[in-house]
Amino acid sequence: MVEFKMPSLGADMKAGTLIEWRVGEGDYVEKGDVIAEVETEKGAIEIEVFEEGQVTKLISKPGESLPVGTVMAVIGSGVDSEAEAISKRDRETVVAADGVKTEHKGNGYKTAETEDIPKRRVRSSPLARRLAEEYGIDISEVQGSGPNQAVQKADVERVYRERMKEREEAKKEADKDREEEKYAEKAAPAGQQVDEKKDSMRHAIAAAMSRSNREIPHYYLQKQINFERAQQWLIEENKRRSVQDRLLQPVLLVKAVAQALTDVPALNGFWINDRYQPGESIHIGFAISLRTGGLVIPAIHDADLKSIDEIMQSMKDLSDRARTGKLRSSELTDATITITNLGDRGVDLVHGVIYPPQLALVGFGRVEERPWAENGMLGIKPILTTTLAADHRATDGRQGAQFLEKLNQYLQEVELL
pLDDT tens for 111-138 read: 444 344 343 457 777 677 778 887 788 8
| Closest to 388 (Cα-Cα) out of 341, 335, 350 | 350
110 and 242 fall within a common domain:
no
Give pLDDT tens digits for 40-71: 876 778 888 888 888 888 999 998 888 888 99
Q: Clarify whether residues 107 and 213 are in a common domain.
A: no
Shared domain check, 108 and 54: no
Between 181 and 241, residue with greater pLDDT: 241
Q: Could you say which of 56, 79, 102 is where a domain stops? A: 79
- 311 pLDDT exceeds 50? yes
Question: What is the reported pTM?
Answer: 0.63
The whole-angstrom separation of Cα 411 and Cα 70 is 46
DSSP state of 227: -
Identify whether 148 is part of a domain: yes
pLDDT of residue 176: 63
Q: Which stretches within 188-298 are classed as H helix?
A: 190-215, 228-239, 249-263
Determine the Cα–Cα distance for residues 279 and 256; give it in Å rounded to an integer: 18
In terms of domains, do 340 and 395 share one?
Answer: yes
Lowest mean pLDDT among 123-132, 242-251, 268-277, 334-343: 123-132
CA distance 108 to 284: 44
**Per-residue confidence (pLDDT) for residue 347, from 0 to 100:** 85
Where does a domain end: 51, 79, 107? 79
Is the residue at 85 inside a domain? no
- What CATH number corresponds to the domain at position 62? 2.40.50.100
Structural domains in the chain (count): 3
Please tell me the predicted confidence (pLDDT) of residue 85.
38
Residue 376 and residue 139: Cα distance in Å, rounded? 89
Q: Which of 103, 138, 162 is the last residue of a domain?
A: 162
Residue 49 and residue 113 in one domain:
no
Domain encompassing residue 379: 196-416
- Edge-to-edge strand ranges of the sheet holding 377-391: 218-226, 377-391, 360-374, 337-341, 284-286, 299-300
What is the DSSP code (8-state) at residue 123?
P
Residues 319 and 399 in one domain: yes
- Domain assignment present for 168: no
Residues 231 and 344 placed together within one structural domain of the fold: yes
From residue 309, alpha-carbon distances to 7, 297, 303, 365, 410 in Å are 32, 20, 11, 23, 17
225 and 354 share one domain: yes
In this structure, are 100 and 60 located in the same domain?
A: no
70 and 98 fall within a common domain? no
CA distance 82 to 34: 25
Average pLDDT of the residues in 368-386: 92
Q: Say whether both 282 and 330 belong to one domain.
A: yes
pLDDT level of residue 31 (50, 70, 90 thresholds): confident
Q: Could you tell me the CATH number of the domain that includes residue 389? A: 3.30.559.10
Question: Is 174 part of any domain?
Answer: no
Helix (H) / strand (E) containing 410: helix 397-412
**Same-domain pairing of 212 and 113:** no
Answer yes or no: is 186 within a domain. no
Q: What's the pLDDT tens digit per position in 184-236?
A: 555 545 455 545 555 555 666 677 777 788 889 999 999 999 999 999 999 99
pLDDT on residue 94: 37
Can you say whether the dihedral through the CA atoms of 387, 393, 394, 396 is positive or negative? positive
For residues 165 and 262, the model is more confident at: 262
